[in-house]
Amino acid sequence: MENLNKIYLSWSDVDKLIDNIIPQLQNHRYAVIIAITRGGIIPSGIVAERLGIQQVLVASIDFYQDEEHNLDWPIFMQFPADSFLIGKQVLIVDDIWDRGKQMVSIMERVELANGRPTSVVLHYKPHRSQFEDKSPNFYAATVEAQDWIIYPWEVERLGKLELS
């Protein structure tokens, strides 16, 4: 993780990114938004407001990677019931597509529930993605593999991590 290029974003920067995405999404009728925790919660709320989508649900997913666990399959700690997704156009929102594992897993789960998923992220790292044949349906900007994006809602938490 050396040679990271930390990019600190302001709330204004995030607003501009979302302004770039909204016109691409306005021609679609999404019934539901799924926010991927934690990074997708704030962007999904803003997108929901701008598009007038009232139903915002949350998905929490983890891939354990430590000495005891190294799972290729995700653990869904929280996910909407299939009944909320069946036959619906579902917009899945996250802050960044890094390796893509979370977004792809959630999209697959929405498809299994007979929903029609569309993915949107603020930032896409095409050179880190583990999926050559998949990418976000919509994204505001691409960033390089060494770029570490720090969103305004992460600044306080990041400061605590750097102090410890």
Express each pLDDT in 120-161 by its tens digit.
999 999 999 999 899 999 999 999 999 999 999 997 755 554
pTM: 0.88
Question: For the residues of 129-147, what is the DSSP string, one character each?
Answer: -S-TT---SEEEEE--TTE
List the strands of the sheet with 75-78, edge to edge: 75-78, 56-62, 32-36, 89-97, 116-124, 138-142
Q: What DSSP designation does 84 have? A: G
- CATH architecture classification, 10-64+73-144: 3-Layer(aba) Sandwich (3.40)
- What pLDDT score does 86 carry? 97
Q: Taking the domains of the chain in order of start, what are their residue ranges?
A: 10-64+73-144
d(CA 111, CA 22): 23
